[in-house]
Chain A
């Protein structure tokens, strides 16, 4: 069907794939009209997409080391951008971000700034230099630049801690979506999710993950944008929501003033029996909280997320796969472009969802109307039945007030199409998109951990004489072990004590940011400095987390640095210790200094060989 080699045909292949997916959506829409049940549509959407990913994973199988670890270093700029975007945008970004903005307003949007600005650091400080280095994994860089197995080992520890914190949440999300779409118990859904994830990565490592992530990006972006545009047009808010919702945002401000933003007392919420995790709107949508502390909390959160982005190994390793240093830089720009398509849409979806629900003049509005009447609405009933929404008539007047309507953040993405009266095929599409987002991130994370353990621990430290076959066998076995460990923890549903996704960013920045940056930008950085920095940074960050997190010791945060921001402490300690110890120890030898000089020049051979 396609002549020539695979890479040259990529636009055609993915163009055909996108067309095929759109045809599938249309077929489902026709089937819905013909009377196919919502449940069948949901199953078909998830099953069809997952089968395609598994097929891509199978076709990308490989027995080459450089194909397995870095996709043969031939992923074109734009496609690597899409793959990184899918790698980056997790189930949480897809399902929970709009909900976060819905409830948190401007304050929550610090995450949007933080999760995008980090790419400026990636492109200007790290990606091109790591690509020139030619490493397979992030610890590979640390181990070679600073020398010695102990430095390598420390980097693997930080990587594993940060990535594993993140991956259980992703497997949890695949389980939730699989269980809902396929109508199976959550515990089983987690394992179904894991099998789907492993099908994409087992046989082809980075090469297979790359090509499935591109496919997953296409599904998730279609699934996110179609509802946003459709709702906006159907409800008459504007043809292009991103540029036309100014009036609605202003209207939300008026409505907030009219209804009043009431923060319910914890005792009232408990007495009314509101299910856990459900919230009511208590924060202004676009208003900026007054005062220096509020501004500091905004920028300190953005800072942690940005620096964390530039330290997360599953993101950095995507730039090892480009054909050149130049391509690595461009690829970062494309990554952020593809991420921005979704991130700039999330606030619009939150706005659409909120105005649809709280404006009493709209037919979809529920606030300010009699509760008895609202209970007749089909979607309200459906979500209350599964404990994702709740009504508590605190003042007993029989009218639904703003503070009396509770729901879970995820409902914003999952239910808004239904609220706006879109056909069920859209809800099926959204489920497929959420599954794609969670699977792609989980794949990247599990691969990052397994590659570090197989390449840096097994091959570089334990058995440097292992042959290619044995190395790849170990890599695949580790993939299964780590995936299974993640799925096991996810199936125990102890996520409430595992903490937030933000922790992964804080762990990564505490231990890895400065050793990576200074490895390129400061020749004087020594092995002892890097080791001391990684240990001190990770230890102090973790200690501070335990000190401040409410479920552990729960002490008052210092300068507003709470458990979401503990990386500020860890990274600062890491910097100071690393610089002091480096200056106290002998400067790196000539060979190392020359290596750093070589890294700074884009042309010429990579530091590490093509196969190592």
Chain B
């Protein structure tokens, strides 16, 4: 496999992991909304908290994490952009 192909394999892997986490916070937990709401977090019913703040915060953290991971992958295969590019 060429350098480019390996880079793309890793990039795809990261994309899939990112989308799995996205699926969990965007959909999976809300399939069980009424069960979640029986527990609470910081005094809020859990399902309410997740859509008011929890999932949104998770998405922000996820994208920052994704961007850093992808930069590491690019670096590993020597595809980092030059600053003046």
B34, B60, B62 interface centre (most CB from chain A within 10 Å): B60
A117 near B: Cβ within 8 Å? yes
- Chain A residues 514-554 with CB under 8 Å of chain B are none
A298-B33 contact, Cβ under 8 Å, with A117-B55, A306-B26: yes
From B36, B37, B60, B79, contact of A602 by CB (8 A): B79
Interface pairs (6), CB distance under 8 Å: A106-B47, A117-B55, A288-B48, A290-B34, A324-B81, A340-B56
B11's nearest neighbour on chain A, judged by CB, is A600
Please pick, from B15, B25, B27, B32, the residue contacting A124 in the complex, using a CB distance under 8 A. Answer: B15
Residues of A contacting B78 in the complex (Cβ-Cβ under 8 angstroms): 603
Smallest CB-CB separation from B35: which chain A residue? A288
A119 engages B59 (CB within 8 Å): yes
Give A597 to B42 CA distance when docked, in angstroms.
48
Give complex CA distance A266, B12 in Å.
53
Q: Which of B27, B47, B53, B71 lies in contact with A302, CB distance below 8 A?
A: B27
A47 CB–B CB distance under 8 Å: no
A603 contact set on B, CB distance < 8 A:
74, 78-82, 85
Q: Please indicate the chain A residues that have their CB under 8 angstroms from the CB of B66 in the complex.
A: 120, 123-124, 329, 333
Expressed in whole angstroms, the Cα–Cα distance for A343 and B55 within the complex equals 11
B-facing residues in A121-160 (Cβ within 8 Å): 121, 123-125, 128
Q: Is A295 interfacial (CB 8 A cutoff)?
A: yes
Chain B hits for A128, CB < 8 A:
70
Contact A330:B67 (CB < 8 A) given known A106-B51, A109-B51, A298-B30: yes
* A325 interface residue per 8 A CB criterion: yes
| Interface positions of A from 249 to 284, Cβ below 8 Å from B | 249-250
Contact, CB under 8 Å: A113 / B51: yes
Q: Given A112-B52, A336-B59, A344-B52, are A303 and B44 neighbors across the interface (CB < 8 Å)?
A: no
- Find out whether the CB atom of A288 lies under 8 angstroms from the CB atom of B11: no
Whole-angstrom distance from the CB of B75 to the nearest CB of chain A?
Answer: 10
Q: Beyond A113-B56, A121-B22, A306-B26: 18 further Cβ-contacts under 8 Å?
A: A106-B33, A110-B30, A120-B63, A121-B19, A123-B63, A124-B15, A124-B18, A124-B66, A286-B44, A288-B33, A288-B34, A295-B31, A298-B33, A299-B26, A299-B27, A344-B56, A602-B74, A602-B81
B52 with A288: CB separation less than 8 A: no
In the complex, A343→B56 CA distance in Å? 8
Size band of the interface chain B makes with A? 35 or more
Inter-chain contact A288/B37, CB cutoff 8 Å? yes
Binds B, one of A197-205, A239-247, A448-456: A239-247
Determine if A110 and B59 form an interchain contact, defined as CB atoms under 8 angstroms apart: no
Q: Report the nearest A residue to B26, measured CB to CB.
A: A117
A residues at B contact (CB < 8 Å): 106, 109-110, 112-113, 116-117, 119-121, 123-125, 128, 242-247, 249-250, 285-290, 294-295, 298-299, 302-303, 306, 324-326, 329-330, 332-333, 336-337, 340, 343-344, 347-348, 597, 600-603
Beta-carbon contact of A249 and B43 below 8 Å: yes
Shortest Cβ distance from B46 into chain A, in angstroms?
10
Closest-by-CB residue of B relative to A325 is B81
Instruction: Collect the chain A residues with CB atoms within 8 Å of residue B22's CB.
Output: 117, 120-121, 124
CA distance A329 to B59 in the complex (A): 14
Residues of B within 8 A of A116 (CB): 55-56, 59
A contact residues around B37 at 8 Å (CB): 286-288
C-alpha spacing A110/B44, complex, angstroms: 17
**Which of these, B8, B57, B82, contacts A600 with CB under 8 Å?**
B8
In the complex the two chains form, what is the Cα distance from A452 to B26 in whole Å?
32
* Closest A residue, CB atoms, query B37: A288
Q: Are A286 and B45 in contact (CB under 8 A)?
A: yes
Q: Do residues A112 and B79 form an inter-chain contact, with CB atoms below 8 A?
A: no
Which residues in B have their C-beta under 8 angstroms from that of A333?
Answer: 60, 63-64, 66-67
Closest 6 CB pairs of A and B: A246-B43, A286-B48, A288-B33, A347-B52, A333-B63, A109-B51
CA distance A289 to B33 in the complex (A): 8
Chain A residues in 8 Å Cβ range of B60: 333, 336-337, 340
Complex CA distance for A121 and B79, rounded to whole angstroms: 22
In the complex, the chain B residue whose C-beta lies closest to that of A347 is B52
B20 to chain A, nearest CB (A): 11
Q: Tell me if B39 counts as interface (CB < 8 A to partner A).
A: no
- A344 contact set on B, CB distance < 8 A: 52-53, 56-57
Q: How far is the CB of B36 from chain A (nearest CB, A)?
A: 8
A302: chain B residues within 8 A (beta carbon): 26-27, 30
Most buried by B among A106, A243, A303, A306: A106
Measured in the bound complex, the distance between the Cα atoms of B64 and A244 in whole Å is 27
Give the one of A128, A333, A337 with max B CB within 10 A. A333
Q: How far is the CA of A222 from the CA of B73 in the complex (A)?
A: 38
> Considering the chains assembled together, what is the distance between the CA atoms of A597 and B8 in angstroms?
9
Chain B neighbourhood of A332, CB < 8 A:
63, 67
> Do B52 and A324 have beta carbons less than 8 Å apart?
no
Closest to A122 in B: B63
Taking the closest CB of chain B, its distance from the CB of A131, in whole angstroms, is 10
